[in-house]
Structure 1
Amino acid sequence: MIVRALPLAVLLLTTACVMPAVDAPPVSATAPAAADSQLITDLRTLSADDMEGRDTGAPGGERARAYIVARLEAVGVAPSSMGRLQPFQTQGRTREGARTFNGTNILGVIPGTRVGDRYIVISAHYDHVGVNDGQIYNGADDNASGVATMLELARRLKADAPEHSVILVAFDGEERGLIGAKHFVEAPPVPLASIALNMNFDMTARAETDGKLWVTGTYQHPTFRPLLETVQPQGPVSLAFGKDTPQDTGANNWVEASDHGAFYRAGVPFLYLGVDYHPDYHKPTDDFEKVTPEVFTASTELAIAAFRTLDRSLDR
């Protein structure tokens, strides 16, 4: 997640050495996620030290990409019409100013049963900010968590198909200015007019602060809110709405705080689901050990319930 109107703790490039790609663990059963589930394994793996902060164009980012690709293929998610990978080269931000980044988005498609020619794009960025002064910024919540939530949703959708076709996108370069999302919107695998919704997961793990998984975008798209208000809390976590009105200013306005901002700018309906800031945000202490598995599991169950509600209701 990118902060607006507050300085980022770091925007850095990794300097670590190349290590072997990580193999994906076995796929779990089709039951809801549990505290010791594949969901938690994905979070732990993507935020491990050997991912070296998953910086765009760095070896750690390549290892994270290999892991996500292996997981999608293990679940049985097909590539998009343009393939599994969408490489791009563009300008991004660093502490020293703009520089050229070579990034790669990861794409998958699950066909819908009712409106196969209308798409819900489920997105989560897999990059983080790398290594600085020997400290690894593991980005467990930002955003290994959102990717793990997306992979869990993919697993469920392969077992119980969605009504809309779903494009799954693990974006690269979010921390460098949403550059992967901007490239996707400029060169999408389907016409933008056929996208019913972008549902973006960014920081879905640490809801302990207020017990909320925030939904941003219902101010811009008010028809979504009454649908989502029917979604019941999951354990200690419930949906909350906001951070998207003209009265929400600075870092409290999340309309363009993550990859959904590229869809917003392109006029595509969007919703952003994420937890509020916490003391470890964009710090080297954003580690797997700080995540309460039961809370993260509940947050993911809530995100999946929100998706199912929208999938059943849109385009009727």
Structure 2
Amino acid sequence: MQGRQTNTLGSEQAQAYIAARYAALGLASFKQSYYANYTYQRAWSDKTGTNVQAWVQGCKYPEHYIVVTAHYDHLGRKGSQVYHGADDNASGVAAMLALAQQLKINCPAYSYIFLATDGEETGLYGSKAFLQQPPVALTQIILNLNLDMISRADRRGRLYVTGANKYSGLKKQLTLLEQGAPIRFLSASGPNHFNGQSRSQNWLTASDHGTFHRQGINYIFIGGQEHPHYHTTDDQWHYIDPSFLQQSLNSIYATVFWLEQQHPERLIRAK
């Protein structure tokens, strides 16, 4: 889809694909459409973007929503070169759709919104637009689960989870699931250790979960580190590691299973 840059034919094709999957899974729409167009200002001019969103109603806590995000946009074309963005972030969108399929089989405890965001690469514009005009009251959104780059390990073979430090039970469950690897828990900001060295990085600006955090909404971010093909034309499907992707999916499913067992107050008040 030619790298899915915002406002390109490839982007429109990606939107149609995601909407078709939502429909095939029987997910509900807001205002009779899966598409949510928005405008934003960049480089002193007005731009437009399109989020693709759907939802499923919960059975135990239907008035409380967990928003699952994964950005579908990427860098598009530069001249004759195509930046495919297989890991970044077709992998996260695929995982979001797989999770939606699982949650649709049996009615979940919480209501879930599945949000494929546009404009993440250029400034998190899709998630900002969603929170500026949310389809439900912001007070009803108790958590954001953000999925970004989950099909490739970094040089240490790890998947990273940020925002889970506030949930000791979740950390324990994920650690037991992976038997110590490849999960690595990171703090949102401050020193984290990479390749034996400590360096500071603000993970709140890394992807769409940062927008939810700034609104006071708790988040869990599951994603990978930068790898040699990050933001290059070589981020293509044949570099995806199927076994690592399955481990990532298992971690996502385990996270949601744990969330489903928690009372809303536990998720809202954890800081």
Letter in 2 for 1:73: A
Given candidates 226, 230, 233, the residue that maps to 2:173 is 230
Separation (CA, whole Å) in 1 of partners of 2:117 and 2:220: 16
- For structure 2, list consecutive stretches of 5 or more residues without a partner in the other structure: 193-197, 266-271
Deviation at 1:78, TM superposition (A): 1.0
Matched, 1:154 2:100: yes
Q: In the alignment, what sits opposite 1:7? A: none
The alignment's TM-score, normalised by the length of structure 1, stands at 0.77
SS at match of 1:154: helix
Determine the structure 2 residue equivalent to 1:211: 157
Offset at residue 105 of structure 1 (A): 0.6
Aligned length in residues: 259
Q: Cα offset for 1:160?
A: 2.2
Question: What residue is the counterpart of 1:267 in the other structure?
Answer: 216
Which of 190, 194, 213 does residue 246 from structure 1 map onto? 190
* 8 A Cα contact 1:56 1:101, kept in partner: no
Q: Which residue of 2 aligns with 1:72?
A: 22
* Secondary structure, aligned partner of 1:123: strand
Query: Against the structure 1 CA distance between its residues 262 and 116, is the aligned structure 2 distance closer, same or farther, given a 3 Å change threshold?
Result: same
Task: Kindly provide the amino acid, as one letter, of the partner of residue 313 in structure 1.
Answer: Q
1:145 matches 2:88: no
- Following the alignment from structure 2 to structure 1, what is the Cα–Cα distance between the partners of residues 184 and 168? 10
Between the aligned partners of 1:271 and 1:79, the Cα distance in structure 2 is 24
Preserved contact between residue 153 and residue 227 of structure 2 (Cα < 8 Å): no
Query: 1:239: Cα distance to partner?
Result: 2.6
State how far apart, in whole Å, the 2-side matches of 1:57 and 1:236 are: 42
1:152 CA drift (Å)? 0.3
Q: How does 1:299-314 map to 2 (within 5 A)?
A: 299-314=248-263
Q: Describe how 1:74-153 pairs up with structure 2 within 5 A.
A: 74-81=24-31, 83-92=33-42, 97=43, 99-153=45-99
Of Structure 1 and Structure 2, the greater strand share is in 2
- Which residue of structure 1 aligns with residue 247 of structure 2? 298
> Following TM superposition, by how much is the alpha carbon of 1:157 offset from its aligned partner in structure 2, in angstroms?
0.6
Q: Identify the structure with the greater helix proportion.
A: 2
Q: Percent identity?
A: 38
- Where 2:230 maps in the other structure, the secondary structure is coil
The alignment partner of 1:294 has SS state of helix
Mark the CA change 1:236 to 1:177 in structure 2 (over 3 Å): closer, same or farther: same
Which residue does 2:269 correspond to in 1? Answer: none
Instruction: Give the root-mean-square deviation of aligned CA atoms.
Output: 2.1
Q: CA deviation at 1:314?
A: 3.7
User: Which residue number corresponds to residue 195 of structure 2?
Assistant: none
Q: Are 1:207 and 1:276, in contact at CA under 8 Å, matched by a contact in 2?
A: yes
Relative to 1, partners in 2 of residues 1:107 and 1:211: Cα closer, same or farther, differing over 3 Å? same
In the other structure, the counterpart of 1:288 is 237
Q: 1:150 to 1:235 in 2, by over 3 A?
A: farther
Cα offsets for 1:106-137 (capped at 9, x unmatched): 11111111100000000100000100121100
CA distance in 2, matches of 1:303, 1:210: 20
Cross-structure match for 1:189 = 135
CA distance in 2, matches of 1:98, 1:204: 34
Q: Which moved more, 1:238-247 or 1:169-178?
A: 238-247
Are the counterparts in 2 of residues 172 and 179 from structure 1 also a CA contact under 8 Å? yes
**8 Å CA contact 2:144, 2:220 repeated in 1:** yes
Shift of 1:299: 1.0
SS at match of 1:282: coil
Residue 8 (structure 2) pairs with residue 61 (structure 1)? no
SS of 2:177's equivalent in the other structure is: coil
